[in-house]
Structure 1
Amino acid sequence: MRSCQRFSDISISERILNSFFLLSIAIGYLFSLGQIYFSHQGRDGNPGISVADIAIAYHGSPEQTRLAAAINGPMAGNLKSAADKTVILDWIESGAQPAIYEAQVAPILQRDCQICHSPASGMRVPPLTSYEQVVKLTEADRGASIPSLIRVSHIHLFGIAFILYMVGKLFVLCEIPVWLKRLTIGLPFLGMLTDIFAWYLTRETPSFAYLLVISGALMGLSLNFQVLLSLYQMWIPLHWPSNRTEPND
């Protein structure tokens, strides 16, 4: 029976190339966790990130507006002071009158927000350069729109699937029981697909946010297990003689 290639069979140059690729993926994953935290934390009005924050991000919150959700959550750090946030929230609660907007709210938005929230920035964010634009964001928060979810879905499917494939191709060279290898290779793909479909489910029913969190954690844990074990066996081979000649793992 023919022998499969293992990490012990590859050259030092290949190990260096593979190692830096896997390390880059691991570091990129840490940054993605940071992006999730800063994008969703505080949406429920409490510090830190919770399942409630995730539910609000996708389902919305009838109790608050899109503008309030933003400055309570991911955009809170862009305001110079807590007093500025209070001014905007009080303006929303009082009926978003144009006179108060011009006198109190517009100067804050011009100073802290319009560097990104303007047509000149070229960013795909709501513009905040006029009363008419801002007042649209004082309506009830309806959560993520279907067009925005579709746009992000196709980016994730193409990008993350490619990463999972490349990491999995290297992980195949590990020497572990075949059943565990097959399970570990399939889990991140299952987690990714479940995570993306959970976005749409959470948009309709906020309790599906738990499924979103669990599936995302499943993908992250299985992906990083592949990365860490591959790095370990690439430089410190661990032999499993019973699987050494298995051609179909």
Structure 2
Amino acid sequence: MNNTLPNLPLALKSLFTGYIMVVGLGLLVAGGQILMTHGQADGKFGISVDDIVYSYYGDRTNSKLENKLNGSMKDKAPVEERTELIKWARDGADKATFESTIKPIVDQRCAMCHGHKHMMMSLPDVTQYDTLKELAQSDKGADITSLTRVSHIHLFGISFIFFFVGYIFSMAVGVNKWVKSILIFVPFAFLIVDVAAWWLTKMNPQFAWMVIIGGFGYSLAATVMLFTSLYQMWVLPYLKKESPH
């Protein structure tokens, strides 16, 4: 069997195409998820350096609760209730006010995802006073436990995706061997840059640019390999057939 993309049997082309379609859709959904979470950390839609800084280093002029209510959680409660929560955090987050005023708001607006009965993954249970009081402290960004968990998921999970994307692209024709080799390696390198930048930004906000560069770098390289592979499997063979030479 000729192990090049244009000459693969139909069954393998179908297998690779299905994988590429799902991975491509996954990349788009991941981008949307980033825009709706990190992308609203500064209260504005779209990824910016401030979003990265607030997500990992924190906005230490305000509490984490206030930053969330003015950012990614802004649409989860009306302005009056968000103002009440922010005022409570600024005034010292006392327990009496929590029981009388804050808990009813939290139970109605937040408990669906952040309550102990319906908690999603490892989201904090903000129906508990001690948890919400901690969030009312100065925002220091992502904690070490969360960074460790997300880092190992990111490294293991995405590296598997890049392995198969690179394997498919390695069968491409008409690409200089050095260009091909570099393009296959680039996503892994930028993935390491991306994750390392999370930790560096946690310590120093000046490294936030590295997060954007890392994410953009591996996304661009993966996109080039995915579209090139599709083109060579389905378009190139027919162009060769139609060519008089």
TM-score by length of structure 2 reads 0.90
Instruction: Select 1:52's aligned residue among 50, 55, 60.
Output: 50
The 2-side partners of 1:103 and 1:158 are apart by 45
2:178 aligned residue = 179
> Residue by residue, what CA displacement relative to the aligned partner does 1:159-214 show, whole Å, maximum 9, x if unpaired?
11110000000001111122221111011111101101111000000110101101
The 1-side partners of 2:3 and 2:38 are apart by 43
Q: Provide closer, same or farther for how the CA distance between residues 216 and 173 of structure 1 changes in structure 2, counting only shifts above 3 A.
A: same
Amino acid at match of 1:218: G
Once the two structures are TM-superposed, the CA of residue 142 in structure 1 deviates from its matched residue by: 1.2
Alignment: residue pair count:
236
1:169 aligned residue = 167
For residue 64 of structure 1, give the secondary structure of its aligned residue in structure 2.
coil
Once the two structures are TM-superposed, the CA of residue 33 in structure 1 deviates from its matched residue by: 0.6
Q: Provide closer, same or farther for how the CA distance between residues 215 and 48 of structure 1 changes in structure 2, counting only shifts above 3 A.
A: closer
The 1-side partners of 2:6 and 2:228 are apart by 14
| Residue 117, structure 1, aligned to residue 114, structure 2 | yes
CA contact (8 A) 1:58 1:144 kept: yes
CA contact (8 A) 1:66 1:140 kept: yes
1:33 aligned residue = 31
Within 5 Å, give how 1:49-198 maps onto structure 2: 49-79=47-77, 81-123=78-120, 124-175=122-173, 176-198=175-197
Amino acid at match of 1:83: E
Once the two structures are TM-superposed, the CA of residue 73 in structure 1 deviates from its matched residue by: 2.0
The 1-side partners of 2:44 and 2:24 are apart by 29
Amino acid at match of 1:22: I
For residue 187 of structure 2, give the secondary structure of its aligned residue in structure 1.
helix
Task: List alignment gaps of at least 5 residues for structure 1.
Answer: 240-249
CA contact (8 A) 1:7 1:237 kept: no
Indicate the structure whose relative CO is greater, using CA pairs within 8 Å and at least 6 residues apart: 1
For residue 111 of structure 2, give the secondary structure of its aligned residue in structure 1.
coil
The 2-side partners of 1:111 and 1:18 are apart by 46
Amino acid at match of 2:92: G
Amino acid at match of 1:85: R
For residue 141 of structure 1, give the secondary structure of its aligned residue in structure 2.
coil
The 1-side partners of 2:105 and 2:47 are apart by 26
The 2-side partners of 1:8 and 1:224 are apart by 19
Once the two structures are TM-superposed, the CA of residue 30 in structure 1 deviates from its matched residue by: 0.5
CA contact (8 A) 1:58 1:143 kept: yes
CA contact (8 A) 1:43 1:70 kept: yes
1:23 aligned residue = 21
Once the two structures are TM-superposed, the CA of residue 140 in structure 1 deviates from its matched residue by: 0.5
1:212 aligned residue = 211
CA contact (8 A) 1:167 1:227 kept: yes
For residue 44 of structure 1, give the secondary structure of its aligned residue in structure 2.
coil
Q: Provide closer, same or farther for how the CA distance between residues 8 and 56 of structure 1 changes in structure 2, counting only shifts above 3 A.
A: same
The 2-side partners of 1:135 and 1:234 are apart by 57
The 1-side partners of 2:162 and 2:64 are apart by 34
The 2-side partners of 1:238 and 1:9 are apart by 8
The 2-side partners of 1:183 and 1:20 are apart by 25
Q: Provide closer, same or farther for how the CA distance between residues 47 and 86 of structure 1 changes in structure 2, counting only shifts above 3 A.
A: farther
The 2-side partners of 1:47 and 1:166 are apart by 33
